[in-house]
């Protein structure tokens, strides 16, 4: 989950430990002042009566790590991000101190927090099915008679391959989040938990010197067979059972990950382990910026221009808006009725538009915003954002992945920056008009240099009577229609096509794509050959012809013939 998405938070649900009345009241007041919904429940209570799936919800825990783990158990299955406020003593997960409560939440609501993706572990065995964010502990059950055997044997298989026998007091399968204490006790490594999606098998009090912790992928299917009575505990006993000999325990990474919100007010991870565990790799809390080897301070990066900063913000906004689009797109194929599909598409448009506009308004409050899906925002600046939160609505409604998010910035009516994001593929096209390079991600893109029509691949937008297809299909190597004008222009820019024809366009469809394609080397005109410009109040057709440049004369000649043929038909 992208942190910018949190800027549209509608509601906060708090899980508070006992004796948290004072910070809970502060949280309630903060929410009331910002017109954010608020509800509070006790540790272990159900949130079903206060949670509404349609609202953008933030989970907050007030307490120690135990309360935070309860929050994960409650919020992670609902895909709700969670912020932990530390009202306890020892805390690695809840790292916002109470005195910073309001400031941290303000940062979240401005969309400036980050969200860590935390791997969870899933276990299934006799009488137990559970998910945890820390670990699954499989241990020997202490005998009633102190003279009886005090060890257990566990046979371990990974994806069907025999790993070996673990003999000792048991073993743990831990996530990076839960690896710290367990791994240290077995002389294993610390795992930095941020966006670290692995599992670690840790022997407990092993009787063999050569048995050491091992790391596996989260998709690994582990089978652990007990050779004696054993207990299974998930996240310190939040789920548990006692198993008889010969029981198979199935453990793997959970598909649903937990979303942990981090702010600048958090105690950093390595500071936390230094303070709480005596981590020996550093003897200062924070050395400040890294210094060069000659002792001179590093040279800071230059401050970005307003257009460069706008591009970075647009990329973040597009990535955040792409998340709910992917989630809702995944629901389309399972919907039977057209009206229900229409509801999903409307919700997708609304969510994406709201995220993008909120991010832009937070960062550039004086800019104007023109969006296809919402009311115009009239700012005091020369800069105006042009947004299409879902270009390719028809594709989206039919479960087709060819849809995109288009975000452009204009200065005095001239496009100066463009970002186009393809949520289903992760492609992120972007460019700044006065630079000479356009990019997909960090890779530079440019148009082709073909000048022969019979060697070229063409893309067509709306073609009402099929005339473009009829005139060009036999002449070119092929004509394709993707259903998204923004995508057409980006694929021209990246060399996947040689020319694009759009019978009519709206500015929100093409504003970003025009910047990206032109910066990559494209020539873009109307159907007469005049330079293409954005017109927000134009009536009727606004054609767009875009090509790699060398192919443009041939494309114009064919368009003129097509127009002449249509005129003759009209006269007849």
Q: Where are the domains of the chain?
A: 3-116+259-277, 121-253, 306-441, 453-571
The alpha carbon of 365 is separated from its chain's Cα centroid by a whole number of angstroms, namely: 25
pLDDT tens digits, 74-100: 999 999 999 999 987 666 788 899 999
Question: By three-state DSSP, how is residue 75 classified?
Answer: helix
Residue linked to tokens 């919402």: 374
pLDDT beyond 60 at 337: no
How far the first Cα of the chain sits from its last, in Å, is 60
Closest by Cα among 408, 76, 439, 126 to 261: 76
Cα 54 to Cα 77: distance, rounded to the nearest angstrom: 15
Q: Which residues pair with 83 in a beta bridge?
A: 60
Q: What is the pLDDT of residue 219?
A: 96
DSSP track, 292-347: -TTSPBPPPPPPPPHHHHHHHHHHHHHHHHHHHHHHHHHHHTT--SHHHHHHHHHH
What residues are labeled active site? 65
Question: By three-state DSSP, how is residue 289 classified?
Answer: coil
Output the six-digit token pair for 162.
């025999």
Do residues 552 and 525 make contact, with C-beta atoms less than 8 angstroms apart? Answer: yes
Q: Which residues pair with 176 in a beta bridge?
A: none
Q: Which fold has domain 121-253?
A: Tumour Suppressor Smad4 (2.60.200)
User: Higher-confidence residue: 189 or 120?
Assistant: 120
Do residues 221 and 203 make contact, with C-beta atoms less than 8 angstroms apart? Answer: no
Annotated binding site for NAD(+): 65-66, 134-135, 150
pLDDT tens digits, 460-487: 887 777 777 777 777 878 888 888 999 9
Cα 382 to Cα 359: distance, rounded to the nearest angstrom: 19
Looking at residue 141, the DSSP 8-state letter turns out to be P
pLDDT tens digits, 210-268: 788 899 999 999 999 999 889 999 988 889 999 999 999 999 999 999 999 999 998 77
Cα 124 to Cα 128: distance, rounded to the nearest angstrom: 6
**What's the average model confidence in pLDDT over 488-505?**
93
Q: What is the pLDDT of residue 300?
A: 46
- Calculate ∠ Cα 376-308-437, nearest 5°: 110
Q: What is the pLDDT of residue 280?
A: 65
H helices of 410-484, in order, are: 467-472
Gyration radius from the chain CA atoms: 29
**What's the average model confidence in pLDDT over 332-337?**
56
CA atoms within 13 A on the CB side of 270: 9
With both helix axes pointing from N to C terminus, report the angle between 507-519 and 485-493 in degrees, rounded to the nearest 10.
Answer: 0
Same fold, 121-253 and 306-441: no
Q: Which residues pair with 157 in a beta bridge?
A: 162, 223
Do residues 179 and 190 make contact, with C-beta atoms less than 8 angstroms apart? Answer: yes
Q: What is the pLDDT of residue 10?
A: 92
pLDDT tens digits, 9-53: 999 999 999 889 999 999 999 999 999 999 999 888 888 889 888
Question: By three-state DSSP, how is residue 453 classified?
Answer: helix
pLDDT beyond 70 at 271: yes
Do residues 253 and 199 make contact, with C-beta atoms less than 8 angstroms apart? Answer: yes
Express as a percent the part of the chain with pLDDT over 90: 56
Output the six-digit token pair for 54.
């349609």
Closest by Cα among 198, 168, 161 to 186: 168
User: Higher-confidence residue: 279 or 248?
Assistant: 248
User: Higher-confidence residue: 304 or 243?
Assistant: 243
Question: By three-state DSSP, how is residue 119 classified?
Answer: coil
Cα 289 to Cα 539: distance, rounded to the nearest angstrom: 56
Is CATH 3.40.50.620 the classification given to domain 306-441?
no
Rounded-to-10 torsion of CA 25, 31, 36, 37: 0
Residue linked to tokens 């797109």: 329
Do residues 91 and 43 make contact, with C-beta atoms less than 8 angstroms apart? Answer: no
Output the six-digit token pair for 388.
């299409």
Q: What is the pLDDT of residue 143?
A: 67
Q: Which helix (H) or strand (E) holds 393?
A: helix 393-397
Query: Which CATH architecture describes the domain 453-571?
Result: 3-Layer(aba) Sandwich (3.40)
Annotated binding site for Mg(2+): 372, 388, 390-391, 509
Output the six-digit token pair for 206.
């092993």
Cα 551 to Cα 452: distance, rounded to the nearest angstrom: 7
Q: What is the pLDDT of residue 473?
A: 75
Pairing between β-strand 368-371 and β-strand 383-391 as defined by DSSP bridges = parallel
Sequence-separated (6 or more) residues with CB below 8 Å from residue 236: 66, 69, 134
Cα 331 to Cα 174: distance, rounded to the nearest angstrom: 32
- Cα-based distances in Å from 368 to 304, 384, 411, 415, 506: 21, 5, 10, 14, 18
Cα 412 to Cα 117: distance, rounded to the nearest angstrom: 41
Cα 477 to Cα 487: distance, rounded to the nearest angstrom: 20
438 torsion bin: left (phi>0), alpha (psi -120 to 50), beta (else): beta
Q: What is the pLDDT of residue 297?
A: 44
Output the six-digit token pair for 105.
């939440």
pLDDT tens digits, 376-429: 999 999 999 999 999 998 898 888 999 999 999 999 999 999 999 999 999 999
User: Of how many residues is the chain composed?
Assistant: 572
H helices of 434-525, in order, are: 467-472, 485-493, 507-519
* Top CATH class, 3-116+259-277: alpha beta
Question: By three-state DSSP, how is residue 71 classified?
Answer: helix
Cα 78 to Cα 239: distance, rounded to the nearest angstrom: 19
pLDDT beyond 70 at 457: yes
């Amino acid at each position: 989950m992208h942190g910018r998405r949190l800027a549209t938070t509608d509601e906060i649900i708090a899980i508070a430990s006992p004796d948290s009345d004072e910070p809970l009241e502060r949280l309630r007041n903060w929410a009331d002042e910002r017109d954010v919904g608020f509800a509070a429940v006790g540790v272990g209570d159900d949130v079903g009566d206060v949670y509404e799936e349609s609202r953008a919800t933030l989970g907050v825990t007030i307490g120690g790590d135990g309360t935070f783990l309860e929050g994960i158990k409650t919020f992670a299955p609902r895909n709700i991000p969670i912020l932990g406020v530390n009202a306890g003593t020892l805390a690695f997960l809840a790292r916002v101190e109470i005195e910073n409560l309001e400031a941290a939440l303000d940062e979240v609501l401005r969309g400036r927090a980050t969200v860590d993706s935390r791997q969870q572990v899933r276990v299934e065995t006799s009488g137990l099915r559970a998910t945890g964010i820390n670990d699954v502990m499989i241990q020997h059950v202490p005998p009633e008679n102190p003279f009886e055997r005090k060890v257990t044997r566990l046979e371990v298989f990974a994806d069907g391959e025999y790993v070996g026998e673990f003999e000792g007091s048991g073993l743990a399968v831990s996530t990076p989040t839960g690896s710290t204490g367990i791994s240290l006790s077995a002389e294993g490594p610390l795992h930095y938990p941020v966006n670290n999606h692995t599992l670690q098998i840790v022997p407990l009090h092993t009787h063999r010197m050569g048995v050491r912790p091992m790391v596996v992928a989260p998709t690994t299917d582990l089978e652990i067979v007990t050779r004696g009575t054993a207990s299974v505990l998930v996240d310190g006993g939040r789920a548990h059972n006692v198993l008889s000999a010969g029981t198979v325990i199935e453990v793997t990474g959970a598909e649903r990950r937990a979303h942990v919100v981090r702010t600048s007010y958090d105690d950093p991870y390595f500071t936390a382990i230094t303070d709480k565990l005596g981590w020996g790799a550093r003897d200062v809390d924070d050395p400040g910026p890294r210094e060069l080897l000659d002792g001179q301070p590093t040279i800071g990066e230059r401050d970005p221009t307003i257009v460069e900063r706008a591009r970075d913000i647009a990329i973040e906004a597009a990535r955040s808006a792409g998340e709910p689009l992917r989630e809702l797109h995944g629901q389309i194929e399972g919907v039977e009725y057209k009206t229900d599909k229409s509801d999903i598409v409307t919700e997708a448009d609304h969510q994406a538009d709201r995220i993008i506009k909120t991010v832009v308004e937070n960062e550039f409050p004086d800019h104007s915003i023109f969006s296809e899906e919402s009311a115009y925002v009239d700012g005091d600046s020369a800069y105006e954002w042009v947004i299409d939160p879902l270009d390719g609505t028809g594709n989206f409604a039919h479960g087709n992945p060819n849809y995109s998010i288009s975000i452009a910035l204009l200065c005095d009516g001239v496009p100066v920056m463009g970002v186009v994001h393809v949520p289903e593929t992760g492609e992120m096209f972007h460019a700044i008009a006065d630079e000479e390079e356009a990019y997909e991600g960090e890779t530079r893109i440019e148009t082709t240099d073909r000048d022969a029509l019979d060697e070229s691949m063409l893309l067509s937008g709306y073609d009402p009577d099929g005339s473009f297809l009829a005139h060009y299909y036999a002449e070119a190597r092929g004509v394709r229609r993707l259903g998204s004008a923004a995508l057409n222009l980006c694929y021209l820019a990246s060399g996947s096509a040689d020319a694009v024809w759009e019978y009519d366009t709206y500015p929100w469809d093409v504003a970003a794509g025009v910047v990206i394609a032109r910066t990559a080397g494209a020539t873009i005109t109307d159907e007469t050959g005049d330079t293409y410009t954005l017109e927000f109040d134009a009536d009727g057709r606004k054609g767009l012809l875009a090509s790699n440049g060398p192919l443009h004369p041939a494309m114009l000649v064919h368009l003129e013939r097509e127009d002449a043929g249509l005129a003759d038909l009209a006269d007849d």
